[in-house]
Amino acid sequence: MELLLVLTLMAFLFSMVKIPDLTKEPFDVVENEAKKVAHLIDLASDYAVLNNALLGFAVKEQSYAFLAFDGERWLEIPEAPFIKNQLEENLLLSIQLDGLEWQEQSLISAVEWINEEEQEEIQQSLDQAPEDVFLFPQVFILPSGEISPFDLDILYSDGFDIEIAFKVRGEFTAPVKVYDPQQIEEL
């Protein structure tokens, strides 16, 4: 009888223990990445204010980085937490600036104080830069803490039927907002 009671008690206790699932759910992966990016942008805004620095946020399809302007050019910030981040295999980034798709060429030619020769040099350096190097930010973070408006979509796609998207939206000031798939539909 005592043995049966002990076994029943042990079975009950084992049923209460949850063994962690070693596989990550795609929804959680995208949500965590979106929150991480949002927190980093908010932190960069605070950093820009405290250090009177002009910062930028640069995005490529599977990576992003924070840049600092040294008075002549943009440089990647080599210190944590602002170091370059590579996304997991099935995650992709897409950025829109104030409702417009990002295009390096259009932004460079829009800068009026750069003459044609300098524009050609900049475009050449962009064309020759390795894929993993960030030369120019899409989002500017000013020393006042203001952020140029943007929508950053973080998409999970397994190549089959699962697609999950979160949106990180910056609207001139920190904190930036994170929208889940249901909230995106309501926008």
Considering the chain, what is the average pLDDT of its residues? 80
Query: Has residue 9 been placed in a domain?
Result: no
* pLDDT tens-digit readout, 50-78: 999 999 999 999 999 999 998 888 999 98
Residue-level pLDDT at 42: 94
Q: Can you say whether residue 14 is alpha, beta or left, with left for phi > 0 and alpha for psi between -120 and 50 degrees?
A: alpha
Query: Has residue 169 been placed in a domain?
Result: yes
**Number of domain units in the chain:** 1
Query: Has residue 171 been placed in a domain?
Result: yes
Query: Has residue 59 been placed in a domain?
Result: yes
Query: Has residue 182 been placed in a domain?
Result: yes
Query: Has residue 39 been placed in a domain?
Result: no
Q: How far, in Å, CA of 179 to CA of 94, rounded?
A: 15
* pLDDT tens-digit readout, 73-93: 899 998 888 888 898 888 999
Torsion of CA 169, 106, 84, 48, to 10 degrees: -60
More confident residue, 161 or 145: 145
Query: Has residue 115 been placed in a domain?
Result: yes
Domain containing 147: what range? 49-186
Query: Has residue 4 been placed in a domain?
Result: no
Residue 105 — pLDDT band, cuts 50, 70, 90? very low
Q: Express as a percent the part of the chain with pLDDT over 70.
A: 71
Q: Tokens in use for 72? A: 């002549």
Residue 55 belongs to domain with CATH number = 3.55.40.10
